[in-house]
Amino acid sequence: MPSPRPGRQLVAAVRALLVATVVLGVGYPLAMTGIAQVIAPSAADGSLVSTADGTVVGSSLLGQGFVDADGAPLPQYFQSRPSASDWDGRASGGSNLGPNSAELADTVAQRRTAVAAFNGVPEADVPADAVTASASGLDPGISPAYAAIQVARVSRERGVPEAEVQQLVAAATTGRDLGFIGAPYVDVLELNLALDRELG
């Protein structure tokens, strides 16, 4: 029978947490890392992707900016969604602006004008994901609608037929998992890598 002295429970607690730290804090994650590196090494290391010459340019899971040094969008590439954190891998997150925020409303209006002008489409054709920042700041995807309004501009810049660009968009599009989970999206980095690879 345990003694009613409170100190005894504290000593047991210290020892229990030391055991937990070794087993759950070191043993468990290391064992899981070992298993992961065997069953799915590429995914466990972050689904890295590289160019045709083998240079690693990022992860197919992480969105990145296709912009020049001044932040201007590069017209030969499909553009990602806006990122509240400038696609910084050390500072993931969203804007956290509320649904009635005047600042957000202004930003959305400016983005809509800019995206419409950049792609040469009416403002009404610009979908919501093109003018809003994602939750992670690293969203790898855009909606098929946002990809669609970019096809003409990219093919014009690259001097290739729209049909060929459209084929690559289709190849980079992921439907709903099992047909009903989530939403369809186009992986922008995969798409742009394919553009460089297939269409120069």
Burial class (CB within 10 angstroms; exposed 0-12, middle 13-18, buried 19+) of 115: buried
158 binds other proteins (CB under 8 A): no
Whichever of 11 and 170 has its CB closer to other proteins, that residue is 11
Beta carbons of 63 and 81 less than 8 angstroms apart: yes
Contact stretch for other proteins (CB under 8 A) within 43-51, 113-121, 149-157, 160-168: 43-51
CB of 127 to other proteins, least distance (A): 7
Whichever of 68 and 163 has its CB closer to other proteins, that residue is 68
Beta carbons of 80 and 186 less than 8 angstroms apart: no
CA-angle at 152, arms to 184 and 119, nearest 5°: 85
Contact stretch for other proteins (CB under 8 A) within 114-122, 148-156, 157-165, 177-185: 177-185
CB of 151 to other proteins, least distance (A): 17
113 binds other proteins (CB under 8 A): no
CB of 81 to other proteins, least distance (A): 7
Bridge partners of 67?
73
Whichever of 39 and 163 has its CB closer to other proteins, that residue is 39
Burial class (CB within 10 angstroms; exposed 0-12, middle 13-18, buried 19+) of 74: middle
